[in-house]
Amino acid sequence: MGRVTDRARIRTVRVREGRLYAGRKGDHVAVEEPLDIRLNGQQLSLTMRTPGHDVELIHGFLHGEGLIAHREDITEARYCDGAVVDDGTGFAQNTYNVMDFTTARPQLLPFMSRSFTTTSACGVCGAESIDAVRKKSRYTLAEEWQLDPRVILGAASALGEQQPVFTRTGGVHAAALVDLEGNLLVVREDVGRHNAVDKVIGWALLENRLPLRDCFLLVSSRASFEIAQKACMAGIPLVACVSAASSLAVDTAREFGQTLVGFTRAGEDGDGRMNVYTHPERLDLAAAEG
């Protein structure tokens, strides 16, 4: 199993209220490192991420790009033996920053016409169009349930209690899959909001839970196109974000029948606030009308 280092301690100089604190104090920061993703030995992507749950991350990424549909599409996932650095002791140390995935369908490789580089701030959007999502998506989004908005607010409150890296560093995003009773099924953190989403969708793929018809996605960030796109690809009918939604995320959600909720903030007394951008019919708003 690879090295997992999601936070690091550094020395800092602190200034408070215009005054220099005496001495230096250590501070925790979120780790950001590259991950070279290779498919059948060929480089596919280089992304910046927080180490940890890399197998889930890549499964989710490949699913979001439409390159795999099931866990059985991947026969092997391994950190490359050749990814080494000299640690000063005369021994080679694996960086755990290069992973090679082998597909069950080697013929997939000739259709890979591009490689791409991403940062922790921006996901890979493929053709960056709603039309591309339409062509790749295999699932229709469930319409047969309604959710009390208080379930979403309760989950948002619970998410804040399950972010250990954020608590120590303040430097990562979180994503969670939540069932219709408000239970957080899985929570993942990463410096990249899209990486956190890939990790939870990758978890669901490995657990044979796709499509996620009876869940919603909760993210501690804004909702941009790539998050709405990844959720559509996984069959997630509702996405709730703590911050705002972008115009293309709204357009994508509206087109595919996805409920998109922004500014999801839980209050101290169980109340809270949210903005519903698209398809409010999945929310039971009877209580709110009173």
Q: Which stretches of the chain are DSSP H helices?
A: 54-64, 130-136, 149-159, 164-169, 193-206, 225-233, 247-256, 286-289
Distance CA 136, CA 27 (A): 44
Look up 122 and say whether it is catalytic: yes
Distance CA 42, CA 231 (A): 27
> Parallel, antiparallel, or unpaired for β 238-241 and 259-266?
parallel
For 80, list phi and psi in degrees, rounded to 5: -70, 135
8 A C-beta contact, residue 197 and residue 174: no
Catalytic residue among 122, 125, 232, 241: 122
8 A C-beta contact, residue 191 and residue 50: yes
Distance CA 174, CA 176 (A): 7
Distance CA 38, CA 56 (A): 15
CA 277 remoteness from chain centre: 21
Classify residue 154 by its DSSP letter: H
Distance CA 194, CA 225 (A): 10
Looking at the annotation, which residues are catalytic? 122
